[in-house]
Amino acid sequence: MESEYVSYHHEDRTHLGLGKGTPGYRTRCVASGRVLSHDRLGGLHHRYDRAA
C-alpha cells in the first residue's frame, strides 16, 4: 500500500507549489471527448483521462 500511495502522490496528485502540476510532470489534456476514470488507492481517489 505504501508504494501505491507514493506512486499516486508523484504521478496523480496535483500540488499547489508546482502550479497545480504533479511531481512526475503529468500533462494536462485540454481536448474534448469521453472521460475515463481510473481508481487509485483502492477507489479512494480517481485519476481522469480523456479517451484517445
- Give tens-digit pLDDT for 13-32: 777 777 776 767 676 777 78
Rounded distance between C-alpha atoms, residue 46 and residue 29, angstroms? 16
Q: Output the pLDDT for position 38.
A: 86
Cβ neighbours of residue 45 under 8 Å, at least 6 residues apart?
Answer: 8, 12, 13, 39
pTM for the model stands at 0.54
* Residues 18, 50: Cα–Cα separation, whole Å: 22
Q: What is the mean pLDDT of the chain?
A: 78
